[in-house]
Chain A
Amino acid sequence: MTPGDEDARLRDALAEAHWQDATQTPPFQAMWSSARRARPRRSAWRWAALSSAVVAAAAVVWLLARPKPMPTTWPVVETRWVAPTDFLLVTPDLMTLRSLPGLDPTADPWTTTPPEPRGLP
């Protein structure tokens, strides 16, 4: 048997295997329109999935971007207020002006000798 004969034999065999196919083939239009009718059901599922994803994404964005709530207690901050005119109070010998003179409590004010009068210049 030549390769050509073998091929012809296999061709015949396959044709015989398929001989009933034509009788079983469903009409194209029926299948096509049936698939067309089935399509919206699937697209409805797709739309539902898509809209759920959009809602979920929006929720995540809102959670991340929402304004932070106000703190219940104000934080303690150490500050010293400085007036704009404070620099005017800075004078020479400031320490003397702001400190009190020290008095000796043991000293008897009545026994002390009065200071000698100074002569007039």
Chain B
Amino acid sequence: MSKGELEQQIAALHPASFAWALACTRWNATEAEEVLQSVYLSILEGRARFDGRSGFKTWLFAVVRNMAARARRRRWLEARAPWRMHLRSQSELGDPIAAKERGARIRRALGTLPDRQREVLDLVFFHEMTVEQAAEVMEVSTGTARTHYHRGKLRLLALLGEEDVA
């Protein structure tokens, strides 16, 4: 694949990639942007290479997921650094206005799911991937992805049911 074709494909998938980066960073837009920037940088530097073993979108989403996981680990370590402890409580408060929106409530419900369940639901129901493709993105077996898919579905439906009652 030439550089021009690569850029075209990435550009076409940019909105979806950003949406996926948002889901991977629990809708932290700043962090999602940093993650996607790092993904583009690693592609330009040749550290992330598409070898054609999977679909382009699947590969790109897997790179985004790995980069987000790395950023999450780094953030976790930084948050536990003694000189950063006082900042954590402030960032956990969230935006009270956005919390009133239905989208925000669903995001909050999604946030209570384990990462793998949240990821597989997002890939299948928002990015319209099959469970097999989602398994490739998540770098797990199809059986494992299917288990997360079923458990996540049941749990999210239960959470959404609670929301509706409330």
Contacts and interface: CB of A to CB of B under 8 A. Distances in A.
Interface stretch (B35-43, B49-57, B62-70): B35-43
Interface stretch (A27-35, A52-60, A68-76): A27-35
A48 interface: no
Size category of the B interface is: 20 to 34
Given A9-B157, A25-B18, A32-B10, A17 B41 contact: no
B22 A10 contact: no
Q: Chain B: interface secondary structure? A: helix
B23 to A, nearest CB: 8
Contacts of B102: 16
16 contacts: A10-B121, A10-B125, A14-B126, A17-B107, A17-B110, A17-B126, A20-B103, A22-B15, A24-B32, A26-B36, A29-B11, A31-B14, A31-B36, A31-B37, A32-B11, A35-B44
Interface of A: 6-7, 9-11, 13-22, 24-26, 28-29, 31-32, 34-36, 38-39, 42-43
Given A13-B156, A32-B11, A42 B18 contact: no
Contact of A31 (B22, B33, B103, B107): B33
A22 B103 CA distance: 13
A92 B53 CA distance: 95
Nearest to B38: A35
B7 interface: yes
